[in-house]
Amino acid sequence: MDGLKELKGVVVIGTTNKPSILDPAILRPGRFDKIFYIPPPEEGARAEIFRINLDKFAKTMDLEKLAKLSEGFSGADIASVAQEIKMLAVRAKLAGKDETVTTETVAGIIRKRKPSITRSMLREYDEFLEEYGERT
């Protein structure tokens, strides 16, 4: 990175969800030489994120169905859904109820939520890449 003392073995990584507010000077070559766009997870990745975050509940779930229902969700959105499921299970257990968490339980939570990544955000990312190109 230009203007900084070179340190061997040090990598500087910057991330943002709002590339449009970055000062163009930071985007010049020599500053951040590699620009990567990491899109929202695709269906297969969402199924895997559900599997990881639902933990023991995942064994009885239709992860493909959940992945289809959660189009546009970020990994954090999915983790939040899984956290809500775990809290429902804890509350049921504390209340002495023996409720089984099903795929439909999770689907109901997904249907009540909106993805945190909006279409306008995706358009903004496309415009950013069009202007600055993807340098890898």
Mean pLDDT score, 55-80: 96
| pLDDT tens-place string over residues 84-120 | 999 999 999 999 998 789 999 999 999 999 999 999 9
What b/e sequence results for 24-58 when a residue is b if at least 16 CB atoms lie within 10 Å of its CB, and e otherwise? Answer: eeeeeeeebeeeeeeebbeeeebbbbbbebbeebb
Could you tell me the pLDDT band of residue 4, with boundaries at 50, 70 and 90? low
Give dist(CA 17, CA 24) in Å, integer.
16
Kindly tell me if the per-residue pLDDT of 3 is higher than 90. no
Does residue 78 share a domain with residue 48? yes
Does residue 88 share a domain with residue 51? yes
| pLDDT tens-place string over residues 13-39 | 888 989 889 998 888 877 877 888 889
Give dist(CA 98, CA 133) in Å, integer.
54
Does residue 54 share a domain with residue 93? yes
Does residue 92 share a domain with residue 125? no
Does residue 111 share a domain with residue 53? yes
The structure's pTM equals 0.81
Query: pLDDT at position 27, please?
Result: 85
Does residue 93 share a domain with residue 31? no
Does residue 128 share a domain with residue 64? no
Does residue 33 share a domain with residue 54? no
Q: Structural domain of residue 88, as residue ranges?
A: 43-116
CATH number at residue 55: 1.10.8.60
Does residue 112 share a domain with residue 57? yes
Does residue 106 share a domain with residue 60? yes
Does residue 16 share a domain with residue 71? no
Say how many domains are in the chain.
2
Provide the token pair at 56.
Answer: 């023991």
